[in-house]
Structure 1
């Protein structure tokens, strides 16, 4: 079986991580090809190492007419005798819908909110929804992502959409808790729904109670060149305690440095970085949005959205537990990843879908 995956870019994100897992567990004799609409980025080397072939269209984020992507899809389908074309994220979905490649089309929804950053992107979302009847299968990564499709007006029958949780490789045992002062890690691109201001306000309160605590933020656009973020850190007086790393190519390595991974979003589906965190046995503290609470193992680790005081309380509560209490949560987090978010199960579920379509 030969699958072509299409994704917008090769930066760190839930869609890219899912694709990496699907590429990594390809069965003997199968082929998994990858088309990236933009140019090489932070995850390129990892994706290229597991894909049968990788192609970059070299489009820009502002491209309105997706001619390059369409041409590349047609060329790759013919060259590699592709059986199924599977797209991720709405620009890639649009190209999959518009390209007359004659193969079954699959889409995975990774979002529970339209986070389009400009009017053109919003038109793309609506167009994808209107043309979604061209897909043979639409998969939602969580229940909230499926609900979002219904709200957006997807023509593909919502009652026929499948929910397949993103899976991730689980470590052989929970990672040991780092020594020293508490370290919180936040993994999200720079986008309004990720609510970095809420996170920073919460962390400022944590610092008042746990002076040695530090916060590490990673994601596209989350770096020291982002004046909006650095001004907020300066205003709160916590810039010396917060690291802004931008995209990172080894999320797991960063996660293992954390006492806990924090999500501060006011809109989220099921964050892939959270699945990777519990796969290492690192507990998740999150706002109650989408299905993010499914990653937690204690109700005190789930707080209302846009409530920085509640988020600060949860972060402080976690690090002020006894070592035995934190160790229990690390083990429980790892157990949840192994039983509910196994990468092999996810890959096998997708493969069964491809077989059914063929």
Structure 2
């Protein structure tokens, strides 16, 4: 039995998505239980159907000691062979909950966060980070989702004899290439409205290209004129509604990828950007800022530019648009092939199973 302890299983973040995919892919070989310290969302009902059982401990910060006691009792009852943790708070609270247990399960920490700027983290995350640094020798292994994240946490002071990187994977059948090219060229962006996603640089780059024959599709929670800050950016650069389509949160990402020619990521910080893998699985060349593992994912099958540099983003977009149709189609095929060879969920799940069996 594999028990997964995750800080929260109600959002649509990289750790939650990867846990969901991993359970679905390995259900034939392992019995899975999910324990969310906070909440569990109906978004993951299909994943939960593959689980032996699942629990929500309603952690809110103030009831930490009670939640640790609940978690300890649950783990004693379940008696799992292995506990796979997901995110800082789950890592730390799980390690605290098993102190003194007669039969200790194998514990694997999972870190799905960039530590590019520790000083900018929330107070709660800073506390969890400090505690995790102290406890980092205790787990049997630490799995990072990004090479950049492993280096950042080692620099921060995480110490463990078995630290490794297992990148996030995708179901290849969910994301299919579309070899059709749109006219005019359609550039897509997907990311919630958040400081980390670099919206000011996205809008400035679109402003620099507003007189070009390019359409932008912008998806993500808050990417709407109902958002005053987005509306201000839209008006500042005098953008055209026909050329810049604000789609807000969308549920069908595969269809979104099918509707564009290339993918744009303007983040100023990332760990392992899942959207780049999904976009490339959909046969999309990616233009990305040099954050987290973006360069490792994209390699020479797109463009990597410095973060916070709208002119560099605009120049990279123009360079893509200038390519011939034959060059664009060849890029589509090469990007898909890279994901098939390196980021398919089948290969990634085998790496997790190898860690669980140590």
Q: Which residue of 2 aligns with 1:18?
A: 18
| Paired residues of 1:7 and 1:92 also in contact (CA < 8 A) | yes
d(CA) in 1 for partners of 2:196 and 2:312?
18
The question of whether the paired residues in 1 share the 8 Å contact of 2:177 and 2:283 is answered with: yes
Matched residues in 1 for 2:42 and 2:276: separation?
Answer: 19
Distance 1:294 1:45, change over 3 A: same
Deviates more, 1:308-317 or 1:293-302: 293-302
Distance 1:59 1:200 in 2: 38
Counterpart CA distance in 2 for 1:262 and 1:321 is: 16
Shift of the 236–17 alpha-carbon distance from structure 1 to 2, 3 Å rule, reads same
Q: Bigger shift: 126-135 or 114-123?
A: 114-123
1:199 aligns with 2:199: no
Tell me the TM-score normalised to structure 2 length. Answer: 0.86
Per-residue CA deviations over 1:97-154 (Å, capped at 9, x if unaligned) read: 2212632221122223256553233222222222222211101222211111112221
Q: 1:290 aligns with which of 286, 289, 292?
A: 292
Once residues 184 and 64 of structure 1 are traced to their aligned partners in structure 2, the CA distance between those partners, rounded to angstroms, is 45
Inter-partner Cα distance in structure 2 for 1:184 and 1:59: 41
Which residue of the partner structure matches residue 83 of structure 1?
A: 81
Partner of 1:54: 54
Identify the residue that residue 145 of structure 1 maps to in structure 2.
149
Secondary structure in 2 matching 1:216: strand
Query: Is the CA contact (8 Å cut-off) linking 1:57 and 1:69 kept in structure 2?
Result: yes
TM-score normalised to structure 1 length? 0.86
Task: Tell me if 1:74 matches 2:72.
Answer: yes
Where does residue 229 of structure 2 map in the other structure?
A: 228
Q: Which runs of 5+ in 2 are unaligned?
A: none
> How big is each residue's C-alpha offset from its partner over 1:54-112, in whole Å with a ceiling of 9 and x where there is no partner?
3333345xx35534643553354244432212122222222222212632221122223
Distance 2:224 2:66 in 1: 30
SS of residue matched to 1:203: helix
2:321 is the alignment partner of 1:326: no
1:94 to 87, 92, 95: 92
Structure 2 CA distance for partners of 1:308 and 1:29, relative to 1, 3 Å: closer
Is 1:336 aligned to residue 334 of structure 2? no
| Aligned CA-pair RMSD | 2.7
Is this contact kept in 1: 2:272–2:292, CA < 8 A? yes
Question: Any idea what SS the aligned residue of 2:95 has?
Answer: helix
Contact 1:144 1:291 in 2 (8 A): yes
Q: Larger radius of gyration, structure 1 or 2?
A: 2
Q: Secondary structure in 2 aligned to 1:176?
A: coil
Stretch deviating more after TM superposition (14-23 or 27-36): 27-36
- Quick check: 1:297–1:333 contact (8 Å CA) kept in 2? no
User: 1:337 offset after TM fit, Å?
Assistant: 0.1
Residue equivalent to 2:138: 134
